């Protein structure tokens, strides 16, 4: 039998290696910018088109490369950063594996222009799928410019695997922010599709944080510092009252390299104990410096996890440092969290609130399945946000039929038996609406019911008929985190269909002229941030996107558990629920309605 083992050709080997190092445009961005940082640049420009799918260009003013280095740097294991294995234990640079450029060159069309200070002319190289197409002298400034075009052009499977532009752009912004935060002493800018979305001058960490997240972060930051033999800690934690509902702004940098570490995160989170509203996450920007020999540097370039000796001690030091910082700035547990509370989403009704009244319908005839008596009701408070449309037909039996079909299978009740008594509704513990039906009683979960109603309304707005806009008396200018405003930009049409009337002011600001009628009582900036946040965790596919958008708004605008409902509100809620296409379950598949048959109740009392 012939020998079977082949040595893989260089190009194939590089493509395989590239799969690990370059997973998406953001990984190429990270590698390029880190090289520019290692090259001692004082300003680094990142230019991206189509979320990096068409172009990623990094221009720096660092030390540049010689003519030979410019060619060699694309070879695998080509690095100027270590010479000997021992160097690994004293690493202060970002790179050392010499894999990044070789990987990028294996899966894209690359153009490199570079010049050192001592050279009169620079050199320009074109490489495609690892093959040098040309190399010639060129005039260019001192430093290096690398353009990566059509990433994964030769691996269609990988290219197809990329997510939507929104998601990929967000990954790029994330990488950019991490490196920019790690290096405030270096200036950075980011252009996406011709628009400058970041321009960060060199400065200190505080300036860098406000440059990225907005000037209002200035007052939110609590300096956090400590120096011991095993670790030096510097940076900031966010004041507890600005804690977020998602984990967005949590940054650890270990020796100036962004890392994720749930153990250390726990240390910070526990330092905030009793200072945070439930389900919220403190912001932090913390730099840990340890001797390079005490960490496992042999980490994979794309991985952000890291192992280090002494993690127990570092945990303890970190926790007490953060505690002390919070204490020093007088942040005591008496802080008032009212404004962050979730229940506060529903403001009290505007105008006078009518007292609850018990209503009796004198025309009610239990044998009449049309049961239209309820429509004459008036009085009681109306929904604070006038959510419910009072003209919806009362097709109760439809709901009930669906429900019975789903829950009980073949055990169907004759239609004429299914009719709701209009003897009024009863609200139980601010959570359930209970009413009598022919065969027994029906319990409806109010928050879920309203979520279903609004979800279908918003979806209708997105798919068929755009919603009405409520013009704001005073247009509101909003500044959002950059990744959020980029995401919202991609959603212009959908937001318009939902009733938002707004215009980008360039950068990450926008002005809102009108909002969906159903959302007039909600803080706009926060709502837009929530929408963006949810969409950024989205997988592509237009339909899914619309559903997610509808659900996000429905959850915000919906009435909540604990809200008192008048008879009229309960009646309208139930009418509208019946008018839905799927009244018995929430969009997430949770039950909304439960019925208890008279026989079941009877059985209780039989003995």
Q: How many Å apart are CA 330 and CA 195, to the nearest integer?
A: 42
DSSP 66: -
Residue 36 binding target from Mg ion, ligand ADP, none, CB below 5 to 8 Å by type: ligand ADP
Contact flag: residue 244 with ligand ADP (CB under 6 A): no
- Residue 179 in the binding site for Mg ion (CB under 5 A): no
Contact status: 18 vs Mg ion (CB under 5 A)? no
Among 19, 23, 43, 63, binds ligand ADP (CB under 6 A): 63
Determine, following the binding rule CB under 6 A, whether residue 101 of this chain makes contact with ligand ADP. Answer: yes
Are 484 and 530 in contact by the 8 Å Cβ rule? The answer is no
331 binds ligand ADP (CB under 6 A): no
Q: Is 256 in the site for ligand ADP (CB under 6 A)?
A: no
Q: Which residue blocks in 258-308 are alpha helix, DSSP H?
A: 262-271
Q: Which stretch binds ligand ADP (CB under 6 A): 76-84, 121-129, 271-279, 305-313?
A: 76-84
Reduced to 3 states (helix: H, G, I; strand: E, B; else coil), residue 375 is helix
Question: Residue 122 interacts with ligand ADP (CB under 6 A)?
Answer: no
Q: C-beta of 54: minimal distance to Mg ion in Å?
A: 23
Please tell me whether residue 81 binds ligand ADP under the rule CB under 6 A: yes
443 vs 601: CA distance, rounded Å: 14
Instruction: Indicate the burial class of 541 (C-beta count within 10 angstroms; 0-12, 13-18, 19 or more).
Output: exposed
Query: Which one of 35-43, 415-423, 443-451, 513-521 is the stretch in contact with ligand ADP (CB under 6 A)?
Result: 35-43
Q: Per DSSP, what are the bridge partners of residue 585? A: 591
Of 31 and 456, which has the nearer Cβ to ligand ADP? Answer: 31
Identity of the residue, 31 or 497, whose beta carbon is nearer to ligand ADP in the bound complex: 31
Q: C-beta of 70: minimal distance to ligand ADP in Å?
A: 9
Residues 74-133 that bind Mg ion (CB under 5 A): 95, 100
175 binds ligand ADP (CB under 6 A): no
- Judged by beta carbon, residue 108 or residue 326, the one nearer ligand ADP is 108
Please provide residue 289's backbone torsions phi and psi, each rounded to the nearest 5 degrees. Answer: -120, 125
Distance (Å, whole) CA 388 – CA 372: 18
Q: Does 35 bind Mg ion (CB under 5 A)?
A: yes
Q: Which residue is nearest to Mg ion (CB)?
A: 95
Provide the minimum distance between the beta carbon of 64 and Mg ion in the complex, in angstroms, as a whole number.
15
Q: Closest Cα partner for 431 from 450, 409, 447, 455?
A: 447
Provide the pairing of β-strand 109-115 with 187-192: unpaired
Mode of pairing for the β-strands spanning 250-254 and 221-223? unpaired
Q: Which of the 8 DSSP states describes residue 406?
A: H
Concatenated DSSP letters of 153-180: TT-HHHHHH---HHHHHHHHHHHHHHHH
- Please give the residue ranges that form the binding site for Mg ion (CB under 5 A): 35, 95, 100
- Please give the residue ranges that form the binding site for ligand ADP (CB under 6 A): 31, 35-36, 39, 60, 62-65, 73, 78-81, 95-102, 144
């Amino acid at each position: 039998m012939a020998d079977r083992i082949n040595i893989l050709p260089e190009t194939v080997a590089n493509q395989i290696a590239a799969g690990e190092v370059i997973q998406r445009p953001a990984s190429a961005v990270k590698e390029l910018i880190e090289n520019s940082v290692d090259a001692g640049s004082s300003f680094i420009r990142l230019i991206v088109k189509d979320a990096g799918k068409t172009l990623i260009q990094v221009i720096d003013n660092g030390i540049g490369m010689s003519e030979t280095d410019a060619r060699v740097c694309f070879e695998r294991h080509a690095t100027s950063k270590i010479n000997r294995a021992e160097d690994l234990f004293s690493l202060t640079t970002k790179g050392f594996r010499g894999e990044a450029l070789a990987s990028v060159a294996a899966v894209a069309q690359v153009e490199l222009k570079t010049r050192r200070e001592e050279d009169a002319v620079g050199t320009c190289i074109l490489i495609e799928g690892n093959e040098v197409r040309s190399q010639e002298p060129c005039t260019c400034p001192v430093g290096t410019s690398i353009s990566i075009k059509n990433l994964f052009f030769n691996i269609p499977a990988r290219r197809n695997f990329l997510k939507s532009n929104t998601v990929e752009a967000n990954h790029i912004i994330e990488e950019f922010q991490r490196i920019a935060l790690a290096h405030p002493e270096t200036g950075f800018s980011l252009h996406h599709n011709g628009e400058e979305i970041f321009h960060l001058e060199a400065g200190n960490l505080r300036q860098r944080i406000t440059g990225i997240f907005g000037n209002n972060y200035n007052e939110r930051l609590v300096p956090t510092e400590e120096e011991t033999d095993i670790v030096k800690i510097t940076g900031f934690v966010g004041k507890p009252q600005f804690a977020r509902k998602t984990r967005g702004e949590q940054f650890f940098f270990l020796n100036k390299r962004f890392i994720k570490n749930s153990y250390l995160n726990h240390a910070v989170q526990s330092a905030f104990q009793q200072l945070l509203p439930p389900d919220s996450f403190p912001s932090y920007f913390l730099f840990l410096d340890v001797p390079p020999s005490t960490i496992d540097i042999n980490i994979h370039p794309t991985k952000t996890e890291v192992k280090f000796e002494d993690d127990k001690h570092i945990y303890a030091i970190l926790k007490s440092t953060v505690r002390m910082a919070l204490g020093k700035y007088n942040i005591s547990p008496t802080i008032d969290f009212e404004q962050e509370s979730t229940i506060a989403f529903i403001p009290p009704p505007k105008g006078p609130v009518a007292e609850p009244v018990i209503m009796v319908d004198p025309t009610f005839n239990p044998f009449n399945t049309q049961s239209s008596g309820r429509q004459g009701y008036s009085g009681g408070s109306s929904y604070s946000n006038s959510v419910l449309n009072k003209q919806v037909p009362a097709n109760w039996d439809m709901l009930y039929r669906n429900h019975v079909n789903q829950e009980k299978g073949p055990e169907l009740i004759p239609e004429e038996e299914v009719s709701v008594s209009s003897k009024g509704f009863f609200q139980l513990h601010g959570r359930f609406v209970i009413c009598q039906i022919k065969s027994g009683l029906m319990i409806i979960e109010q928050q879920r019911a309203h979520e279903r109603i609004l979800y279908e309304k918003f979806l209708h707005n997105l798919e068929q008929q755009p919603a009405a806009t409520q013009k704001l008396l005073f247009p509101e200018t909003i500044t959002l985190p950059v990744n959020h405003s980029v995401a919202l930009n991609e959603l212009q049409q959908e937001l318009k269909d939902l009733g938002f009337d707004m215009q980008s002011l360039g950068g990450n600001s926008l002005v809102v002229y009108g909002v969906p009628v159903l959302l007039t009582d909600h803080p706009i900036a926060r709502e837009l941030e929530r929408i963006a946040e949810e969409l950024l965790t989205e997988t592509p596919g237009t339909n899914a996107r619309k559903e997610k958008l509808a659900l996000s708004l429905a959850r915000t605008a919906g009435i909540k558990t604990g809200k008192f409902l008048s008879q009229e509100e309960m009646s309208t809620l139930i009418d509208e629920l019946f008018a839905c296409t799927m009244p018995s379950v929430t969009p997430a598949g949770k039950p909304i309605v439960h019925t208890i048959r008279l026989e079941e109740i009877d059985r209780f009392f039989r003995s």
